[in-house]
Amino acid sequence: MTVHKQVSLESTVLLLERLATDPSAIPSELRSDDQLRKRLLSVIQKLVPELETPVETCQRVLYNALELPMARVAIDLNVLNNLKESSSPLTTEDLANKSGKSPDQKLLARILRYLASLSLIREVDTGLWTASHFGNNLSGKGQSAGVSHMVDNCFAAMVGLPAFLRRHNYDPPETKDDTAFAQANRVSDEEKTFFDWLKTRPDNARDFNIFMGAHRTGTQTWLDLPEITEEIKSSFKKVTAGREGGEGKGVSFVDIGGNIGHQCKAFKQHIPDLKGTIILEDLGEVIANADLEDGIEKVAVDFLRGQPVKGAASYYFRSVLRNWSDPYSRIILGHVRDAMDEESLLLIDELVLPDRGAHRYETQLDLTMLAMLNAEARTETHWKQLLSGIGLEVKDIVYYENDAREAIIMAKKASI
Ligand SMILES: C[S@@+](CC[C@H](N)C(=O)[O-])C[C@H]1O[C@@H](n2cnc3c(N)ncnc32)[C@H](O)[C@@H]1O
């Protein structure tokens, strides 16, 4: 029995070693069978902390803070993309020449050695480098903007969270001005919130805006849900019926805090036959960067102050209310409630956390919202309380991603 166990364990380890050293040997079924792939990933991630010694755990965890900043450097020096685009391995000197930044070569070699030790790139010979699956995964436009956003915009707040929580005796305030973000960045009075701070930092804002187009975790989108798109179509018919101008003058979709219009464009693509105007709302300086097509209009709105578009078929928030604690969310939602017709739909595209067993994708987002904005990701019970407290009734919650439970919460004005 023991011998059998040893033999099968040894052969399992050998097999995994072979796959790690030569990723081309990974069976294609493992990449194509998503369930099996996720099971293997989950088991490996759970086994690592179980098998480590204290020294190994410290080596892995204590220096973790270096990983993302050095990925940021790799992106800055264009290392990942240069390797991805090259058909043959590149030397340190090649990478220095192609970086556009003339880095010191000894420094670059140290950085590359570190990146290779994390598998962000591969070291095929002394001073000779090639791309890796891991590095390629981070090199896309949205992903590399995400790395830059995390390091340049969020890192100080994350690192400062312990001191902030100590200062507040582990009972953080709900205000938008006194945050770990504000404390860590020692912000001036005019830029106390992250969104105010972005106003004078166009490079940081650009990375944030690009990342917003790629920040969701799965491949499904809410627009793949026919039960929701059919509801919008039906609501559009009802809100425009009997109105002057009819369907031609109606508003089908208002994306509130819609950034530079990723979802407005997706909406138009998914429901091209729906008449009516699509409206993108965000702060003036944000929509100034939105490049929109016909049929989508932009309106500069501070959603804490009001909702100018009345009686639209649908009002949509994606990843917005997670930025605001309950008192602010009540103000924002209250303005929308006042603008809604009886038949208008409120669509909240958000994480809906389970009461227990939350996924890492959910818990890490929740605490990032705390660090940046004194805000949070909410459970189903919390969402229902928040909405019913201001006269909005949840009609349905439709989940469309399972790891991080992304869902559409559909609500209407509560009948009086
Ligand atoms: C986390 S982003 C989500 C963007 C977009 N909905 C998405 O899912 O890609 C939050 C958005 O809220 C906008 N925002 C922040 N404060 C605002 C305010 N007071 N009024 C209007 N928009 C605001 C930001 O500019 C940003 O585009």
Residues of the chain with pLDDT under 50: 1
Is the Cα dihedral 54, 56, 62, 65 positive or negative? negative
Q: Model's pTM, two decimal places?
A: 0.92
211: Cβ contacts below 8 Å, ≥ 6 apart: 142, 145, 146, 148, 149
The CATH code that applies to domain 20-138 is 1.10.10.10
CATH code matching the domain that covers 222-413, chosen among 3.30.1160.10, 3.40.50.720, 3.40.50.150, 2.60.120.1440 = 3.40.50.150
Residue 304 Cα to ligand 1 middle (Å)? 11
- pLDDT at site 213: 86
- pLDDT at site 161: 98
- pLDDT at site 220: 78
- pLDDT at site 5: 59
- pLDDT at site 3: 53
- pLDDT at site 401: 83
C-alpha 356/C-alpha 284 separation (Å) is 40
Average pLDDT across the chain, whole number: 94
- pLDDT at site 206: 96
What stretch(es) of the chain map to CATH 1.10.10.10?
20-138
- pLDDT at site 221: 86
Ligand 1 pocket test: pick from 323, 333, 348, 406 the residue with the most ligand atoms within 8 Å of its Cβ.
Answer: 323
Closest CA to 81 of 139, 121, 146, 132: 139
Residue nearest to atom 19 of ligand 1 (CA): 302
- pLDDT at site 402: 76
- pLDDT at site 97: 98
Q: Is the CB of 33 under 6 A from ligand 1?
A: no
Tokens of 351: 């994480």
Q: Is the CB of 254 under 6 A from ligand 1?
A: no
Backbone angles phi, psi at 53, to 5 degrees: -85, 165
- pLDDT at site 196: 95
Q: Is the CB of 150 under 6 A from ligand 1?
A: no
